[in-house]
Structure 1
């Protein structure tokens, strides 16, 4: 059964949601029959990459809130992240347009490394304070997950996978995603936001129960012995 997750690299709740969903999946008895696919979403497509501007200043300008309010928001999400084992350093976050990082994820998905790419990008952005729009940063992250540096560079230097990113963003509108993280299970049930592990587990159980009725597990051979076949061989 497929679980699609729409996410953006710069979304702090997406990383938290990833951890909570992973914990639910660990507890799910049929986890080997779950396929997870990460989908692209941009919270701010027009954002200009600016390593010299901190996230507090961005929130003050973009949302029209006070510095104290912005700081309080970041402290809150940092504390929630810590509860699931994540070490956020929002003061180091680099404002970066996420389009190229999504192209990088699409390339990683093609090589069956989509989840690893998401993990590395989240860690780079929220913990290490790296510029996730910088091509050299993305190449280094690609090498970490086993991708070829030359191939990653070739992708980033071109316009490859741009249409894949746009397709995911369009699909997000079709399934009702207005924000991220947004989880869609078997294209039947949606879970919006970084819900509790128990909520994810319940959604997995309900959707899988219905999916399994239409997709029963193949019969596995327990033992083989002497027999006769339809062609008359015994």
Structure 2
């Protein structure tokens, strides 16, 4: 059964939602029959690479939302505590607000090598915990290597129009499915979970979706006639 997860690497609830999903999946007895695909969704495609108040997230949000600095900081402190409750450390005092497109392009390339989830995790950590600038070329090369990409592959991800198109296509796809924000989880194209739900809720939805999928796609046991065979890492007999 396939699960598609749309997220933005600069969305604080997406990282929290990732942890809650992982906890739910770890408790799911049929997790080996689940395929997970991470997909791109840009919350603010028009965001400048170096916006006003880039190095002060509290002021950046206060200015954008029309609230006081103190109100913004209080909200973010609540967010830091929420993240801590799921095992994440958010160092928002040193976060650098920026456009997320370059990070998404790297994720799209990483997906072609089966490294999509790893790319998500590393970029989330880089932004929310390590305070990395996700529009700095040297930083992106460093993070790309941590993901498992070469410097040349990072350059390709950042310059080939294909990966820009993939990001935009997946964002449009999410909207066509009814997503108005992220994280957005779609299970078997029949169930959807919007937002960073608790693991118990995710697990219940996972079980319901899997039960339907299993009815539609029953696992058939084959009637095998045995002969001489070679087995990986063992002798042929």
The aligned residue for residue 152 of structure 1 is 154
Cα pair distance change 1:141/1:213, threshold 3 Å: same
Tell me the distance in 2 between the aligned counterparts of 1:220 and 1:145.
Answer: 39
Judging changes above 3 Å, is the alpha-carbon distance between structure 1 residues 223 and 108 closer, same or farther for their aligned structure 2 residues? same
Relative to structure 1, is the Cα distance of residues 54 and 34 closer, same or farther in structure 2, using a 3 angstrom cutoff?
same
- Give the distance between the partners of 1:165 and 1:221, measured in 2 at CA: 44
Tell me the residue number matched to 1:84.
86
Q: Distance in 2 between matches of 1:221 and 1:33?
A: 21
Please tell me the root mean square deviation across aligned C-alpha atoms, in Å: 1.7
Q: Which residue of 1 aligns with 2:34?
A: 34
Distance 1:112 1:179 in 2: 25
Aligned residue for 2:43? 43
- Alpha-carbon deviation of 1:154? 2.5
CA distance in 1 between partners of 2:118 and 2:222 (Å): 31
Instruction: Summarize deviations over 1:45-74 as a string: whole Å, max 9, x none.
Output: 111122853111110111111111110111
Tell me, what secondary structure is at the counterpart of 2:196? coil
Summarize the alignment of residues 159-198 of structure 1 with structure 2, pairs less than 5 Å apart. 159-198=161-200
Equivalent position of 1:64 in the other structure: 66
Moved over 4 A (4+): 220-225
Aligned length: 225
Q: Equivalent residues in 2 for 1:80-229 (5 A)?
A: 80-219=82-221, 224=226
**Counterpart in 2 of 1:19?**
19
Q: Does the CA contact (< 8 Å) of 1:135 and 1:156 recur in 2? A: no
Supply the distance in 2 between the matched residues of 1:221 and 1:202 (Cα, whole angstroms). Answer: 34
Partner Cα separation in structure 2 for residue 208 and residue 128 of structure 1: 37
Counterpart Cα distance in 2 of 1:222 and 1:87:
51
3-state SS of paired residue (2:201): helix
